[in-house]
A and B are shown apart, each in its own frame.
Chain A
Amino acid sequence: MSTLLALEGVDARYGPIQALHGVTLSVDEGEIVAVLGANGAGKTTTLRAVSGTVRRTGTVAFDGRPLRGGAAETARKGIAHVPEGRGTFAELTVWENLRLGAYTRRASSDDFARVQQYFPWLEGRRAQQAGTLSGGEQQMLALARAFMQRPRLLLLDEPSLGLAPLLVTEIFRIIRELNEHEGLTVLVVEQNAHIALQLAQHAFVLEVGRVALSGPSAELQQHESIRRSYLGY
């Protein structure tokens, strides 16, 4: 099991405000890792630091090599980032969104068939404007779009946000399937620590821009004091 992603001493700032202080974490190939913490702890910023959408210092290594450049370069290296707000193009159709997902590759019909395997409801919806999809469908479209990139690493920012529990379960099931069947490594940011820990093997808890706690999910789930103070349940 090799390390696919490694952050070391990463600082990030938004103008004068420093959002991350020396964040160090790693994700092994084939793992699902969760980043947890309260609002404003820096979870989203951590993902942004990886995908190059925020100014950062420190080392971010992907597959042993330092990751540099902006979002477009990062995407071309095999990292798919589904941001908060999902990053779908509401004005374009479902089909166009998927095609955009495959932008960095030569998409074949096999690709689209694979996608429909995991998201069967897409069939027949190709011409629908993405903005008219329901919240849950948009989230799944975002996931499908990211999958079209055939990434090695998937960055997910709060996939459960604004979704009914049933849908959340469904989405997390799909994520697990993608991880197990396609070997997709996942770094997922979540506020819903409970369900995130059920999905992930490993978790990092952020507090005010620093890694306060980390460990296998089983461990974090066991400790009641940790659960109470850091995970909120």
Chain B
Amino acid sequence: MVAIARKTKLSTGASLPVLLGIVAACIFLLVGSLSSTIFAQQTVAGLSQGAIFASLALALVLIYRATEVINFAQGELAMATTYIAYQLTLWGLGYWLAFFLTLVISFVIGLAVYGVLIRPVQHRSVIALVIITVGLFILIDGLVTWKWGADLKFMPAPFGNQVYHAGGVSFSRQDIGVLLVSILSVILLWILFQFTKLGLAMRAAALRPAAASLVGVRVDWMLAVGWGLAATLGAVAGLMTEPYVFLQPSMMQAVLLYAFAAAVLGGLESPAGSVIGGLAIGVFLNLIGQYVGFATSELRLPIAFAVLLVILLFKPTGLFGRRQVRRV
């Protein structure tokens, strides 16, 4: 048991108490779901929402680990790429073809953003980088509103509207589809990082750029790929958000906040932490919304803010923080 705990700490950075807490929470959710159909439904819905937060949070963490930049424009990039998918469907492409084509396009956009905007300033000024991502936020918002307008748009539903029933509980196909797609993309990314040469090189470039260069890793390219992958993850998050809130320029602003909270829960540097954090926040918000009368939907964002604040105040390194001082 201790050996398992130690091994998990090695890969996720979570300490034993945190692990126990997560196990306890899972048991709580399971028991609750078994005893109340509403609880089960909210949990599943919360998990699928949370999976979206998790994928965007992962994108944020990816970028932060690689380049130490908080990309305030991550949500807007995700939103923009979703609009691109929308445009592709308008031009006659089927939903899933547009989906995958958009993933490729967002990868390229991520590369471009890194190369043009981030790389030139990266070593000169951290604050300038913040302002640049802020400027990018505004630029993208403007571009999208200019090209497509601010009124609601709708994409074809990726998973249909069927509702399944199991043991008295109703699950929507959409929730399950969103959950699967989001988790799948996270898993694919994990496989990339853990088992491929490219993934290893990317990790090395993020951890110790100087040492990575010495073994022949082209660090700049690795960072660019990191941004590309983050943009792709963002596109997935955006496309999975669309079925719920539909297309509007502000669609990802709330998700961005939830993703920040999730990323911070993961200590900004632990990918596993941000994924678990995202799922946790999704479930938490739904359950609170269901069972605490005062907490209606308008308060979701302020609640997320409160959560973020509490984490930052009391455990800024998050539940999974373990990073030592980074050396070059």
Contacts and interface: CB of A to CB of B under 8 A. Distances in A.
A and B in contact, CB less than 8 Å:
yes
Interface centre among B10, B200, B204, B213 (most CB of A within 10 A): B213
Contacts of B315: none
A40 to B, nearest CB: 21
B153 interface: no
B218 to A, nearest CB: 5
Contacts of A71: 210, 213-214
A30 interface: no
Given A53-B210, A71-B210, A89-B208, A101 B215 contact: yes
Contact of A99 (B10, B197, B327): B197
Given A72-B219, A100-B201, A51 B214 contact: yes
Query: Contact size class for A?
Result: 20 to 34
A45 B207 CA distance: 23
Contacts of B197: 99, 103
Contact of B216 (A53, A89, A96, A103): A103
A16 to B, nearest CB: 18
Given A71-B210, A75-B214, A81-B214, A89 B219 contact: no
Interface in B179-200: 197, 200
Contact of A96 (B200, B217, B219): B200
B10 to A, nearest CB: 7
A123 to B, nearest CB: 20
Interface in A103-152: 103-104, 129, 145, 149
B211 interface: yes
Contact of A83 (B203, B214, B216, B217): B214
Contacts of A101: 215
A100 B210 CA distance: 13
A24 B118 CA distance: 39
A101 B327 CA distance: 19
Contacts of B210: 53, 71, 83, 87
A158 B214 CA distance: 16
Contacts of B200: 92, 96, 99-100, 103
Nearest to A70: B213
Nearest to A149: B215
Nearest to B209: A71
B208 A72 contact: no
Chain B at the A interface: SS class: helix
Interface string A24-66: 0000000000000000000000000001010000000000000
Contacts of B208: 87, 89
Interface in B223-259: none
A92 B215 contact: no
B158 to A, nearest CB: 37
A63 B200 CA distance: 31
B213 A89 contact: no
A83 B204 CA distance: 16
Contact of B215 (A53, A75, A91): A75
Nearest to A82: B214
Interface centre among A53, A76, A88, A91 (most CB of B within 10 A): A91
A129 B215 contact: no
Contacts of A104: 215-216
A103 B204 CA distance: 11
Contacts of B204: 89, 92, 100
Contacts of B218: 72
Nearest to A75: B216
Contacts of B213: 53, 70-72, 75
A122 to B, nearest CB: 17
A131 to B, nearest CB: 9
Contacts of A92: 200, 203-204, 207
A124 B81 CA distance: 47
Contacts of A103: 197, 200-201, 215-217
A100 B10 contact: no
Contacts of A129: 10
A208 to B, nearest CB: 26
A75 B218 CA distance: 10
A61 B197 CA distance: 31
A148 to B, nearest CB: 9
Interface centre among B201, B203, B216 (most CB of A within 10 A): B216
Interface centre among A51, A87, A100, A145 (most CB of B within 10 A): A100
Nearest to A83: B214
Interface centre among A72, A80, A96 (most CB of B within 10 A): A72
Contacts of B216: 72, 75-76, 103-104, 149
Nearest to A105: B216
Given A72-B219, A103-B201, A129-B10, A87 B214 contact: yes
Interface of B: 10, 197, 200-201, 203-204, 207-208, 210-219, 327
Given A75-B216, A87-B210, A89-B204, 5 more contacts: A72-B216, A75-B213, A83-B210, A87-B215, A104-B216
7 contacts: A72-B217, A75-B214, A75-B215, A83-B210, A89-B204, A103-B201, A129-B10
